[in-house]
Structure formats: C-alpha cells, structure tokens
Amino acid sequence: MQRPQTDDVQSFLLALQARICQALEQADGAAQFVCDTWQREEGGGGQSRVLTQGQVFEQAGVNFSHVSGDRLPPSASAHRPELAGCRFQAMGVSLVIHPHNPYVPTSHANVRYFVAERDDAEPVWWFGGGFDLTPYYGFEEDAVHWHTVAREVCRPFGEQVYPNYKQWCDQYFFLKHRQEARGIGGLFFDDLNEGGFERCFALTQAVGNGFLDAYLPIVERRKAHSWGVRERQFQLYRRGRYVEFNLVWDRGTLFGLQSGGRTESILMSMPPLARWEYGYQPEPGSDEAALYERFLPVRDWVSP
C-alpha cells in the first residue's frame, strides 16, 4: 500500500478552501468572508471562513481543519473497531451555504482525510466526502444539472462510482425520524482506500473541485427569482429539517464534538434562521407540495 502524503492533502485542502471562497464572493457580489484562525488544545487547529448577510448568501461557511489526538473518537472507529484508541490525524474542508432567496438551494460539500497510527503497524488511512443539494422549490433542470456534474466527476474512476456514491448519499442524508430525504442528494463516500493512495486522493480532489461546477450555475439561474413571505416561511420551515439532520444524524458533527473540536466552527453549518410548525401540510397542488412529491423521493436524474 502506498504511503500517505499528508502534506499534499493539506496543500490541496487549503487551496480548495481559498478557491471556493473567492468564487462565492464573486457570485454574491457584495459581502466577503471573514477569516477566523483557531488552535485546538489537544492538537491541531483550523481556519473558519464565514460570509454573512450578503446580497445572495444569507450565510456561507467554508471550514478547513487539521486536528490530531491520542485516541480516535468513537464516531470515527465505529466501522473500524480494531482502530479504537489509535493516534489519529483528521483534516478536511467542509462548507454549507444558506442563500437568502428560497428559490436558490442550500448546499453542502465536504472532503476529508483520516490517518490512524499504531506503533506496531503501518498507518491506516482513508478518504471521505461528497456534495449534496437541498432545494426548497424544485426545478427539474437544476436537479439534472447537479447530478450530471456529479456523474461526470466520478466517470474517470469507473462507471459504478457515481451510482454507488449517489445511492450512499440518498441513504445517508435521510431523516429516519421523519422518513424523509433532506434534499435531492448527490455524492457521498467514506472509508475510501481501495486502489491505493494516488487513486483515492485523485477521486477526492475531483469531488472537491467539482462542487463549484455543480452549484454556481444553479445560483445564477435562481438568484433573481422573485419571492415573498410565503416562500420565505416555507424556506425557514424546511431549514428546520436541516437542523434536525445535523444534530441527530450527522457523523461529521458528532466526530467534531467528540474529538474536542471548536464548537463554533462545527455548528457553523446551522442556518442563521429556521422555524418549526406543528403538523404542517403543504397545500395540495402547490409548489411546496411538489417538493415532497417530485423531488425528495429518490430518483434517477441522469438516465434518459
């Protein structure tokens, strides 16, 4: 097995964070990211970049973190019990974008890298990541574009990569207590080390680099769409689902908290405003009902 090149991964992640922030500032046209560098007492640190109250984006956060410790947290070793208690390094870029306009979807992306080390064995490493889209008002054109980019990102690594990672994403971003998808999915993968370090790193880079190609054209199509109180209220209601998933089901949130990460940066993914309504039901035949009927159920968006 090829030796992990941790410095190369870190260089890529920092460059990815800078490139995404620059592109989002340009798309917003008004606000800029504020950079907050932090250190972790147990080892490592990171850089949180947050944009708030922009022209297009109500809040966007793009985090880089590189943390280390003497014991791998339970959330990271749940699928690898033999590594429980190992020393570890974990680094990644994670981002969440919450636009003002309810017709522009919320989006999330993450690419990450872990190394677990023991004195009596070679390091064990793996990659993970993906990107997913959470619309409030669905558009077939946007969903097809999103998944087409996801498919093309994966294509050089095998024809089964996209369908496998799409299925994994559909299963992962699912609110079991609601029996409801968080959005229309995208890509999700974890524990990736098959095929050697170079292949796995290349695939992870492709996913990270592909995010802007998938998301920004949708932002440009929808950011000038007119909206009012009704659309805003529905957006805030659906944002509540985002909060529920992140606090109840998301492994990344759990890992960050278990590893003693910086809480302010971990919870940066939360929307600045959200609401809950008891027993809400969308009006039959409405655009709100169409989200539940046509977009949240799992679909194949790219096959003819």
Residues acting as catalytic residues: 108
Alpha helix stretches (DSSP H) within 110-228: 140-154, 161-172, 197-222
Closest CA relative to residue 103, chosen from 293, 242, 211, 232 = 232
Take residue 84 and report the two structure tokens written for it. 């429980």
Closest CA relative to residue 138, chosen from 164, 162, 110, 106 = 106
Amino acid type, 202: A
Binding residues: 94, 98, 108, 110-112, 147, 177, 260-262
How far CA 287 is from CA of 96, 103, 185, 259, 293, in Å, comes to 24, 11, 19, 42, 10
Task: With residue 239 as reference, give the H or E element that holds it.
Answer: helix 229-248
Task: With residue 95 as reference, give the H or E element that holds it.
Answer: strand 87-99
Binding residues for substrate: 94, 110-112, 260-262
